[in-house]
Amino acid sequence: MTTQTMMRSAQRNLQTNMEQLARLQEQAMSQKAISRPSDNPTGTAESLTVRAEQRAVDQYARNADNGNGWLTTIDSALTATNTIMNRIRDLTVQGSNDSNSQTAKDALARELDGLKDDLLKQANTTYLGRTVFAGNADTGVAFDATTYDFSGSGSGSVERRISSGSTVRVDADGSAVFGDGTSSVFALIDDIATDLRAGSPNVGPRITELDDRMKTIAGQHAQVGAQQNLVERAQGSLLAQKGSLEAKRSSVEDVDLGQVILDLKTQEVTYQSSLAVTARVLQPTLMDFLR
């Protein structure tokens, strides 16, 4: 064992202590257990997997939020539609009274015209620039204000993926809710108003037609409610997944700051002690300088 061998061994030991000290200092500053893949290859692979799952869950959550916005808009429109339809029915019942004067019937017809316009506005409701009753068609409006023709897509729906194996429809088929063209609820209201203006002795049979249409609207409304419940349950599940994945990521990537600081202080003492001991043991001699 020569002095040179002892010096090289001491240098390696000091270098090892210094590297350990530098690693702990880096962890204390970054509060990360993994600064580069070589620090923990297994942990790095696990971290990448968890982060990929987090990105997927974040996207599903955005989809669910967007879908909930669609369904909330549709729900509001159908709630308003039910209110309008109830008023239309009340007016039709009033108009069926034979004791009404023609002036009264004309007044009822004018109010029906206004209610029909309000109903058209609900049928053409939009969310973020998209018509919620037009399917996946980008037509601007679901129903023509003059002919009442449905200009949307009855076969193409708007869907949002809320999990890896689940999608939910977030629009409503306007033709199923309001009808189409001459068979639409708008045309029915026009017919009632026309009967009233013509002084028809009895518009009572129109009440049955209104009741059928209102049942259809209520059924579609219930379906939208079921879809929204599905989306809201998915939102709760995704929120729980976010918390679980974040805890998993933190356990792999983050450090216990208190423990790291304790280890850092211990390593600083170890390094200082190593320097002191090495300086005392490896005393330079005249021969070291002569070399």
- Give tens-digit pLDDT for 31-56: 666 666 776 688 788 888 988 999 99
Q: What are phi and psi of 34, to 5 degrees?
A: -125, 110
Helices and strands of the chain, counted as H and E runs:
8, 4
Token readout for 213 is 């249409």
| Of 59, 73, 285, 8, nearest in space to 164 by CA | 59
What are residue 169's DSSP bridge partners? 159
| Of 105, 85, 86, 89, nearest in space to 97 by CA | 105
- Mean confidence (pLDDT) of the chain: 84
Q: What is the DSSP letter of 17?
A: H
Q: Are 90 and 214 in contact (CB under 8 A)?
A: no
Q: What is the mean pLDDT of residues 230-254?
A: 88
| Of 179, 217, 233, nearest in space to 75 by CA | 217
Q: Which of 19-23, 97-101, 106-110, 286-290 has the highest mean pLDDT?
A: 106-110
pLDDT of 265 > 70? The answer is no
Place of tokens 């028809």: 200
The pTM (predicted TM-score) of the whole model is 0.77
Task: Indicate the range of 25-39, 48-62, 101-115, 152-166 predicted with least confidence.
Answer: 25-39
pLDDT of 249 > 90? The answer is no
Q: What is the pLDDT of residue 173?
A: 93
| Of 117, 234, 125, nearest in space to 171 by CA | 125
Helix (H) or strand (E) holding 243: helix 205-253
